[in-house]
Amino acid sequence: MRYGVVVEEFAVEVMAQLPDNRARKEVLALVEVARMDPRAWPDVRDPGSVEEIREAFGRQRWIHLMPHAGAVEVRDIGWAG
């Protein structure tokens, strides 16, 4: 965990496939914004799920995250750039 962020293996793989450093920086900036207030983003969990899944999004990127006490777990990353 770094700065209250845990990144799942799948999300790490997606980050490695982003087209350039600009894309990585934009995704990491979104992670930081979401970490500061994860519950400000919509809850997108499946009906009946006990895991709280939030979706944070920017112009060309999105992440799925799970809030934990003082931290977030990044489950998935998307890039449309």
pLDDT of residue 48: 93
pLDDT of residue 1: 41
Residue type, 5: V
pLDDT in tens, the chain (81 residues): 445 888 889 999 999 999 889 999 999 999 999 999 999 999 999 999 999 999 999 999 999 999 987 789 999 999 887
d(CA 78, CA 1) in angstroms, rounded, equals 21
pLDDT of residue 68: 86
Please give the CATH architecture assigned to the domain spanning 5-79. Answer: 2-Layer Sandwich (3.30)
Pair 52, 46: CB distance under 8 Å: no
pTM: 0.85
Q: Which residues of 37-75 are buried (b: 16+ CB within 10 A; e: fewer)?
A: ebeebeeeeeeeeeeebbbbeeeebbbbbbbeeebbbbb
**Using the 8-state DSSP alphabet, how is residue 58 labeled?**
-
